A = this chain, B = another copy of it.
Amino acid sequence: MPSRQVDIDRVFYALGDPTRRAIVDKLTEGPLSVSRLATPLDITPTAVIQHLQVLEEGGLVQTEKIGRVRTCRLETAGFSALEQWVRDHRSMWERRLDRLGDLLDESG
Docked complex: A58-101 residues within 8 A CB-CB of B: 73-74, 76, 79, 82-83, 86, 89-90, 92-93, 95-97, 99
Are A16 and B24 in contact (CB-based, < 8 A)?
no
In the assembled complex, which residues on chain B have CB atoms less than 8 Å from the CB atom of A15?
12
A-B contact pairs, 19 of them (CB 8 A): A1-B97, A8-B21, A9-B16, A9-B18, A12-B13, A12-B15, A12-B16, A13-B13, A16-B16, A25-B92, A28-B93, A28-B95, A28-B96, A30-B99, A73-B96, A74-B96, A76-B93, A76-B97, A79-B93
User: Is A17 close to B, CB under 8 A?
Assistant: yes
Are B16 and A96 in contact (CB-based, < 8 A)?
no
- How many chain copies does the complex carry? 2
Chain A interface, number of residues (Cβ within 8 angstroms) = 30
A74–B98 Cα distance when bound, in Å, is: 13
Q: Closest chain B residue to A18 by CB distance?
A: B9
